[in-house]
Structure 1
Amino acid sequence: MPSVLQIVRSVVSPLTRTRVFRWAAPRLLPPIERVVAALSGGRVQLSALLVPSLILHTTGARSGAPRETALMYTPDGAGRAIVAGTSFARDRHPAWTYNLLADPEAAITVRGRRMRVRASLIGDDERDAAWARIEAQWPGYRGYERESGRVVRLFRLQPLAESRS
């Protein structure tokens, strides 16, 4: 029997692939996510109500400034996370993917807990398996790749052991 979350995802998922959503979401969701995160001390994310979500902390590839991005992630079954640079099916890769390519050392915050990670680009030999995991969580998500006209960058985020000083 499907869970309530699975039913909600199956209803909401098709809406996320509409032109209206792809236009409105990049404009409305980031500021809403920031307000919710600020009010909750980073413990609550709006997107996390539907899918596992994290805040990715990177260093700007050009600016060197700290950057934060709320992202959906997919657990890979080995304590790591997979993130996809879909950017709502836009024709350009999102800035955070350039940041990870320039400096794969980053951090993530999940449910208020921050941890260091190392990002690695998922290669062609693993892409289909990674997409299968992602789409098991969010049906039709790979449609963003087809609609964008580009190969979406997929990254695996590996937690790093914290050093004890």
Structure 2
Amino acid sequence: MTRRGRLADFWFRSLSRAHRVLLRLSRWHLGAGIVGMPIVELTTTGRRSGRPRAVVLSTPVVDGERIVLVASKGGDDRHPEWYRNLVADPLVELTVDGSRRPMIARTADAAERAELWPRVVAAYRGYEIYQHRTSREIPIVICEPPG
């Protein structure tokens, strides 16, 4: 990995940690939304460590119990670690408005992505810019309650 890539990863991790602290200290009253999108805390199981890994993400689409995440990593050519973790173990936990929920996460199939991508971009135009920055297709993740 390049020095620039390591610096970007450090920046994203640091920002996520700071955001999590703000959410917890304010009991989800401060920082619970960004650019018009709700914020969730996603907890995955580390694919190598087996330990819980948490990250704060925006969610451009919420359909009842179905919550959609975008594995954009700002248009980086690499998938975010949280995405790689949930592919390895789809049993995740989402914290929404301070309430924890067990969920099953999966990558949207082609038809679901075709339906969701315009809604994702309508929520935040930056996702379209991120897609143009990278040669990989940015995955859309659908989180739903188990069962």
- Per the TM alignment, residue 39 of structure 1 is displaced from its structure 2 partner at its CA by 1.5
Instruction: Give 2:129's match in structure 1, choosing from 143, 155, 162.
Output: 143
- Give the 3-state SS of the residue equivalent to 2:63 in structure 1: coil
The alignment covers a number of residue pairs equal to 138
TM-score, structure 1 as length reference: 0.74
Q: Name the one with the larger strand percent.
A: 2
- Per the TM alignment, residue 49 of structure 1 is displaced from its structure 2 partner at its CA by 4.0
Quick check: which has more Rg, 1 or 2? 1
Instruction: Give 1:96's match in structure 2, choosing from 71, 79, 82.
Output: 82
* Structure 1 residues 31 and 77: CA distance shift in structure 2, 3 A: closer
Tell me what 1:71 maps to. 57
d(CA) in 1 for partners of 2:106, 2:119: 17
d(CA) in 2 for partners of 1:142, 1:45: 27
CA RMSD of aligned residues (A): 2.2
State whether residues 90 and 105 of structure 2, in contact with CA within 8 Å, keep that contact through their aligned partners in structure 1.
Answer: yes
Residue type of the alignment partner of 1:48: G
Tell me what 1:117 maps to. 103
- Per the TM alignment, residue 44 of structure 1 is displaced from its structure 2 partner at its CA by 4.0
Tell me what 1:130 maps to. 116
Say whether 1:30 aligns with 2:20: no
- Per the TM alignment, residue 73 of structure 1 is displaced from its structure 2 partner at its CA by 0.9
Say whether 1:46 aligns with 2:28: no
d(CA) in 2 for partners of 1:124, 1:64: 30
Say whether 1:56 aligns with 2:65: no
Task: Provide the identity percentage.
Answer: 31
- Give the 3-state SS of the residue equivalent to 1:142 in structure 2: helix
Tell me what 2:3 maps to. none
- Give the 3-state SS of the residue equivalent to 1:157 in structure 2: strand
- Flag structure 1 segments of 5+ consecutive residues without an equivalent: 1-22
- Flag structure 2 segments of 5+ consecutive residues without an equivalent: 1-7
- Per the TM alignment, residue 54 of structure 1 is displaced from its structure 2 partner at its CA by 0.2
